[in-house]
């Protein structure tokens, strides 16, 4: 008795056709935070915005619970932290942060409690405005010609999907763009679909969704690509990559079955 290769090939063809027809569903299974508007990625030219909330302020305004890293560039020892360990000193929270500077919590009253000069009202100020205000206070009360450097160390975005690196990335500079962060993450993977990038921004219950076609250089001109605190940036894989993964998964299931069937047929043939 011959091994029924035609039947096996027919079965494989049926499985291949079914898997090919479900390539979109396969990619959707692997993607995060799917939205009904994601269908635009098949036709998007440059940048498309859902639930547009307008252009945010060009410069971040300090808020309650922000962590401000502060140091005087004229005196590197001023504001420097001896270790990366966190500690609490009275009403001010101090922890190791970027640039090897101490960070101070903006309290619920909108003020930050700083050494020697005490509480300073900083809520609503940009980073530059807060730095100038603190610099002037130190110049009047303590330091000679200080140059204050101030960073908000808790500002971040989250990259998920087909990037060189995933995870949280700090927004250390004003006007950090999408391309800046993608570069910091090591670019995008070979399996990434450049038309499927989306930024989820703002209120999580009713977010603004920004779709970006990375294939079109004109996308770079959009002001929507200036990143905001807590943005979630998601990039899907291509349909062919998702299909390939699904085929591999199906093959891992079907292959042992075929081995068992062929072994059974061989035993049947030898025992006839």
Structure confidence by residue, pLDDT tens digits, 123-140: 999 999 999 999 999 999
Q: What is the pLDDT of residue 135?
A: 95
Across the range 109-116, mean pLDDT stands at 95
In the DSSP assignment, the letter for residue 219 is G
pLDDT by residue (tens digit) across 173-215? 888 999 999 999 999 999 999 999 999 999 989 999 999 999 9
Question: Predicted confidence band at 111 (pLDDT cuts at 50, 70, 90)?
Answer: very high
Mean confidence (pLDDT) of the chain: 81
Cβ neighbours of residue 205 closer than 8 Å, sequence gap 6 or more:
none
Q: Which single residue is written with the structure tokens 């500690």? A: 87
Q: Which domains, from first to last, does the chain contain? A: 31-57+155-239 (3.10.560.10), 67-152 (3.30.1950)
- The Cα 143–Cα 135 span in angstroms is 9
Residue 232 buriedness (CB in 10 A; 0-12 / 13-18 / 19+): middle
Across the range 242-247, mean pLDDT stands at 57
Residue 100 has pLDDT above 50, yes or no: yes
**Residue pair 106/112 in contact by the 8 Å Cβ criterion:** yes
């Amino acid at each position: 008795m011959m091994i029924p290769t035609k039947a096996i090939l027919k079965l494989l063809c049926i499985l291949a056709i079914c898997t090919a027809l479900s390539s979109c569903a396969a990619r959707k299974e692997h993607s995060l935070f799917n939205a009904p508007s994601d269908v635009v990625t098949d036709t998007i030219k440059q940048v498309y915005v859902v639930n547009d909330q307008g252009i945010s302020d060009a410069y971040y305004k300090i808020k309650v619970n922000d962590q401000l890293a502060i140091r005087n560039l004229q005196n590197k020892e001023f504001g420097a932290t001896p270790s990366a360990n966190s500690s609490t000193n009275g009403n001010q929270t101090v922890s190791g942060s970027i640039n090897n500077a101490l960070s101070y919590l903006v309290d619920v009253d909108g003020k930050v409690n700083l050494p020697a000069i005490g509480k300073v009202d900083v809520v609503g100020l940009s980073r530059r405005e807060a730095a100038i205000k603190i610099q002037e206070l130190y110049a009047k009360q303590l330091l000679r010609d200080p140059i204050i450097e101030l960073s908000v160390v808790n500002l971040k975005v989250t990259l998920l999907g087909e990037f060189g690196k995933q995870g949280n990335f700090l927004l250390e500079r004003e006007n950090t763009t999408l391309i800046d962060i993608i570069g910091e993450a090591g670019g995008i993977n070979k399996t990434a679909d450049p038309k499927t990038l989306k930024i989820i921004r703002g209120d999580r219950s009713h977010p603004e969704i920004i779709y970006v076609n990375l294939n079109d250089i004109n996308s770079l001109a959009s002001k929507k690509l200036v990143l905001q605190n807590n943005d979630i940036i998601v990039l899907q894989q291509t349909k062919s990559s998702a299909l390939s993964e699904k085929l591999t998964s199906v093959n891992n299931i079907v292959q042992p079955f075929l081995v068992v069937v062929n072994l059974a047929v061989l035993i049947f043939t030898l025992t006839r």
